[in-house]
Amino acid sequence: MLTSVQNNIRITAKRLGLNSRQIEEILKVEATHSFKITLDNKKQYNAYRIQHSSARGPYKGGIRFHPEINEDEVQALATLMSLKTAAVNIPLGGAKGGVEVDTRNLNMSELEELSRKYVRILAPFIGPKKDIPAPDVNTNPKIIDWMVDEYSRLTGDTTKASFTGKSLTNGGSEGRDAATGRGGVIVLKTLLDLSHDLNYNKALTFAVQGFGNVGSYFAEIASKNYPNWKMVAATDSSGGIYEKGGLKSSELSEWKRRGKKLLDYDSNNKISNSDLFGLDVDVIVFAAMGGILNEDNQHIIKAKYVLELANGPILSSVEGALKNRGIIVIPDILANAGGVIVSYLEWIQNLQNEHWDEDIVNKKLKDYLVVATKDIYRRAKKDRTSLKDAAFAVAIERILKAKQA
Ligand code: NAD
């Protein structure tokens, strides 16, 4: 994933005429914190916080608890965060954190101890004006609430602006849960409007790979706002289901909320994840994980649009092949930026000691994303490049400009 992200940056930067020193400036990580967390039971875990760029503002990015996390992946995700905040033009930089742990093997008090110790080690390097972490895969508002509490105890900070993604009663923002999925809907609709793809605006079919938090909110908000957009398939890690006539996203979400697998949902049309890739739909939504579309499976895709709601689901090595087949990739740093935009809004609310209604948050989210989508669409037209290349171009230029300021 790191190679893929860095390749994308190099390709765009060379096209923009940047010299090798400037390219290295963009790729360079500002600080790497790599450490071990030891629990009272003596179990040890590798942990990271990689701060990629603060050129445009304090570092921003989630903390992931995952057994297969490693330093390279955290660096790739930190780099993507810098590009994402720049692409949607919020005044923040990019970072990412992670602990190499399978949380299923921890009880609640061990999970709390791990979360608090992570903050204890990092406290000198994070904070409302330095680096504002958030939840990511396998971390949630409860974990973030422990982290904020630990940070406040250590530093005396009372703003709660040291982390975002907190619970609503602890300074979290309305609309954060749904923000990434909602953002995906806004970006897709705006692009269809801009490209005058009117057929799709009237009716389109979509399939969701990774019907979790992001995927299910995308499906629910899309179905609610645009009844002619029809979800015909959805999968999770177990596989999933296909219904030509359309699936009810709210019922599937309820099923998942009860902790059940999609493969066990009552349907005669079970599918695997590779079946989903080859479906003849207008839009395929990747909302599971990075690096899932590669040389071996890219040829299966039939959809006209691929919406990257996960981070880095398509390897840079296959983007050319997709483009040659007329498949339009809507890039992650735009498509899934809804989450970081509402995180930014949460941070502002905390600093100003305010709590905004969900309608206000959603309106601001939409405003940011419509402007960003228009910027990137127009840039792609002007430079005759893909949307991904245009998004990277816009982001790289903004970061470079800030570094030179
Ligand atoms: P989640 O854990 O709630 O959902 C992930 C879903 O993907 C689960 O249903 C899981 O079963 C499924 N999945 C895992 N492996 C799969 C596979 N190989 N094939 C099909 N499905 C698979 O996580 P989430 O919060 O919805 O995040 C999804 C992705 O979006 C992640 O890549 C995350 O980094 C990215 N993302 C999330 C946010 C956010 O606000 N949550 C913001 C930006 C990006």
Average pLDDT of the residues in 111-130: 98
DSSP string, 172-192: PPTTHHHHHHHHHHHHHHHHH
Please give the pLDDT value at position 147: 98
Ligand 1 centroid distance, CA of 289 (Å)? 6
DSSP letter, residue 127: B
Picking from 404, 346, 400, 398, the residue whose alpha carbon sits closest to that of residue 372 is 398
pLDDT tens for 212-258 read 999 999 999 999 999 999 999 999 999 999 999 999 999 999 999 99
* pLDDT band, residue 290 (cuts 50/70/90): confident
Active site residue 36: no
Determine the Cα–Cα distance for residues 44 and 335; give it in Å rounded to an integer: 36
Listed as own residue / partner, the contacts of 259-263 with beta carbons closer than 8 Å and 24 or more positions apart are 261/236, 262/211, 262/234, 262/235, 262/236, 262/238, 263/236, 263/238, 263/239
Among 269-273, 308-312, 317-321, 366-370, the range of highest mean pLDDT? 366-370
* pLDDT band, residue 366 (cuts 50/70/90): very high
C-alpha torsion sign, points 397, 398, 399, 403 = positive
**246: helix, strand or coil:** coil
288 C-beta closer than 6 A to ligand 1: yes
173 C-beta closer than 6 A to ligand 1: no
Which residues 6+ apart lie within 8 Å of 79 measured at CB? 2, 5, 6, 9, 27, 29, 52, 94
Annotated catalytic residue within 60, 84, 96, 166: 96
Q: Encoding tokens for residue 216?
A: 């299910």
Q: Please state, rounded to an integer, the average pLDDT across all residues of the chain.
A: 95
Determine the Cα–Cα distance for residues 228 and 3; give it in Å rounded to an integer: 39
Q: Closest residue (by CA) to atom 4 of ligand 1?
A: 212
Q: Closest residue (by CA) to atom 43 of ligand 1?
A: 336
The vertex-90 CA angle with 191 and 306, nearest 5°, equals: 30
Strands, E, within 136-290: which ranges? 204-209, 229-236, 239-242, 270-271, 283-286
Q: Encoding tokens for residue 60?
A: 């921003």
